[in-house]
């Protein structure tokens, strides 16, 4: 019995020493990372870092965060960021975001308030924390801008899973309900106020390939860029309007997509009205567009619904043989 007790005491001492060594090294790693960013020309500040959670986990708390990327002009500030790791699972992180943080660009500053934003991350510590899987919960999020608008998201979830055998391809899913768009936007899109305040549901599921894995370089250097998009579903419902899309696109080095997306639009005339109200469609073209879309809807078998295919090629978007305009560039800043 005496030997057993002595062995347990020695084991506890070794475990405590290892925990203390890891906690000490974590503080050094954080300090070194911020110093490296400053050498690269960033504004990179924090006021304090502490590690707790003994003995079952490591809880790293970084306070007074300020990061500014000189290449993009983005600035992120937060009073605190908490990272949790279980002692026997260093490849699993939980990031707990503060109830208020700010994200600024050269154009505007966004204040982000939330009841909860938590991210569970499976990473590869030996490969610059390359992402294997992520699951982010969003509750009670409100974003307000210095440009005078605000929006609310009661509930949302974003997940990503690296495809087995692929370093840079991920299955991505986003689902949100009750999204309240900015009031100025809603007033422009729906001046008569006939639509519900909130967009009922937004769904996005896709397999996305990038030009390199998502790891620490996505913060330090640049964001990985999309090279392939296999869209399983992108859908949104707002009142009687429903939009759904599916298809596949290849994306070149300049962000130009090439491929086809099949779309279904229910109550499409209301969507045209929204486009005109928003200024996305000139009012003088409304009748012409409605004529073309009415013909497409007739081919679909229902005058109020459209089933059509959008083709992306040579930097433009086509509805059948009809050019609709320049294609959006898929570039992550």
- Residues 235 and 245: their CA atoms lie apart, in Å, by 6
Bigger pLDDT: 298 or 170? 170
pLDDT reading at 150 higher than 80? yes
Residue 10: the pLDDT is: 43
Domain ranges for the chain, please list them: 1-107
Once rounded to an integer, what is the mean pLDDT over residues 177-205?
Answer: 80
* pLDDT at residue 28, as a whole number: 84
Strand partners, 69: none
Longest dimension (CA), the chain: 93
What's the first-to-final CA gap in the chain, in angstroms? Answer: 63
Contact 330, 251 (CB under 8 A): yes
Which helix (H) or strand (E) segment is 94 a member of? strand 89-96
| Percent share of the chain, pLDDT over 90 | 53
User: Which range has the top average pLDDT, 74-83, 191-200, 278-287, 310-319?
Assistant: 74-83
Long-range pairs of 25-31 with CB within 8 A, sequence gap ≥ 24: 26/51, 26/58, 26/60, 27/51, 30/60, 30/62
The pair of three-digit structure tokens given for residue 264, joined into one six-digit string? 């279904």
- The pLDDT value recorded for residue 71 is 87
Categorize the per-residue pLDDT at 169 as very low, low, confident or very high, splitting at 50, 70 and 90: very high
Q: CA geometry: angle at 86 spanning 85 and 87, to 5°?
A: 110
Evaluate if residue 300 carries a pLDDT over 50: yes
Choose between 175 and 291: higher pLDDT. Answer: 175
* Interval 94-104: pLDDT, tens: 999 999 999 99
Report which of 234, 261, 240 is spatially closest to residue 305, judged by C-alpha positions: 240
pTM of the predicted protein model: 0.86
Indicate whether 33 pLDDT > 60: yes
- 297: how many CB neighbours lie within 10 A of its CB? 20
Structure tokens at 292: 């073309």
**Residues 197-239 pLDDT 10s:** 888 889 999 999 999 999 999 999 889 999 999 999 999 888 8
């Amino acid at each position: 019995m005496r030997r057993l007790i002595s062995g347990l005491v020695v084991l506890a001492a070794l475990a405590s020493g290892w925990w203390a060594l890891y906690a000490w090294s974590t503080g050094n790693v954080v300090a070194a990372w911020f110093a490296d960013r400053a050498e690269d020309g960033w504004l990179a500040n924090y006021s304090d870092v502490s590690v707790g959670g003994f003995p079952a986990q490591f809880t790293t708390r970084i306070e007074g965060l300020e990061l500014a990327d000189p290449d993009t002009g983005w600035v992120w500030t937060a009073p605190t960021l908490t990272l949790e790791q279980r002692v026997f699972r260093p490849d699993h992180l939980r990031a707990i975001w503060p109830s208020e943080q700010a994200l600024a660009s050269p154009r505007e500053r966004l204040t982000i308030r939330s009841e909860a934003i938590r991210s569970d991350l499976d990473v590869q510590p030996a490969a610059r924390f390359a992402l294997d899987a992520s699951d982010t919960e969003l509750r009670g999020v409100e974003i307000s801008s210095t440009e005078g608008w605000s929006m609310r998201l009661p509930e949302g979830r974003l997940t990503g899973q690296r495809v087995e055998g692929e370093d840079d391809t991920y299955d991505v899913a986003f689902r949100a309900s009750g999204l309240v768009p900015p009031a100025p936007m809603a007033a422009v899109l729906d001046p008569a106020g006939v639509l519900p305040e909130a967009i009922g549901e937004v769904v996005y599921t896709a397999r996305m390939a990038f030009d390199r894995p998502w790891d620490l370089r996505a913060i330090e250097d640049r964001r990985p860029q999309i090279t392939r998009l296999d869209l399983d579903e992108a859908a949104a419902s707002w009142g009687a309007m429903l939009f759904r899309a599916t298809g596949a696109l290849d994306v070149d080095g300049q962000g130009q997509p090439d491929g086809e997306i099949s779309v279904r639009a229910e109550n499409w005339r209301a969507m045209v009205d929204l486009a005109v109200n928003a200024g996305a469609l000139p009012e003088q073209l409304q009748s012409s567009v409605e004529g073309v879309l009415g013909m497409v809807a007739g081919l679909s078998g229902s005058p109020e619904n459209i089933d059509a295919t959008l083709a992306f090629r040579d930097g433009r978007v086509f509805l059948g043989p009809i050019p609709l305009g320049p294609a959006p560039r898929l570039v992550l800043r």
